[in-house]
Structure 1
Amino acid sequence: MSKLRKFFLTKDKDKGDWVLEQEGSDRARRRFLTKAEATAGGVLEGALGSEGGSVRIRKEDGKIQEERTFPRDKDPEKSPG
C-alpha cells in the first residue's frame, strides 16, 4: 500500500485567497478565492487527482479545523470520524 499524500488548505494572507499545497512543496497545487469555494462538494477531491490524499483544512488563524481524506477508503482505520 502506498503512503497517503498530505496536503494543507491555508489562507494566503498576502494575496487574500486560499491555497492548496502538498506537504514538503513550496508550490501551490491550486488557489481558490474563498474557503467555501475550495471545500464545496468534490472540489478538493478533484484537485488531488486519482491518487487522492489527506487534506488538513486550516482556519484563518492557522489552527487545523478539520481533515478530509480522498478517496474515503484510504482513510486510516485508527482515525476518528
Structure 2
Amino acid sequence: MSKRNQHVVPREDGWAVKGAGAKRDTQVFDRKQDAVDRAREISQNQKSELVVHGQNGQIQYKDSHGNDRFPPRG
C-alpha cells in the first residue's frame, strides 16, 4: 500500500477523506469528525500525515503518524 498523506476536505454534501494526489475521494461523510476519525485510522495504518482543512479549504491542523521530520524532543 502506498504511503499517502490523508486530507479531510469540505464537499457540497459533507466532508471527504482524500489521499494526497488521488483523483477520487476515499469516502464522504456527513460530519467532519467522522471524516477526521476515518482519515486518522488510514494515516496511522500507513504511517503518513493527517491534514485537516476548514470549510474555506485552508489547512486547520496536521497530525503526523509516521516519519516526523521534526519529532518532539525529550
Question: What TM-score, normalized to structure 2?
Answer: 0.71
Displacement of 1:57: 0.6
Consecutive unaligned residues of structure 2, counting only runs of 5 or more, are none
Quick one: percent identity of the two aligned structures? 15
Who is 1:6 aligned against?
A: 5
Q: Check whether the contact 2:8–2:53 (CA below 8 A) recurs between aligned residues.
A: yes
Q: Check whether the contact 2:43–2:50 (CA below 8 A) recurs between aligned residues.
A: no
Who is 1:37 aligned against?
A: 34
Within 1, Cα distance between the matches of 2:29 and 2:16? 6
Structural RMSD (CA): 2.6
Give the partner amino acid of 1:33: D
Count residues with an aligned counterpart.
Answer: 71
Q: Check whether the contact 1:17–1:34 (CA below 8 A) recurs between aligned residues.
A: yes
- Give 4+ residue runs of structure 1 displaced > 4 Å after superposition: none
Could you say what secondary structure the match of 1:28 adopts?
coil
2:49 paired residue among 42, 51, 54: 54
Question: What TM-score, normalized to structure 1?
Answer: 0.66
Q: 2:60 aligned with 1:69, yes or no?
A: no
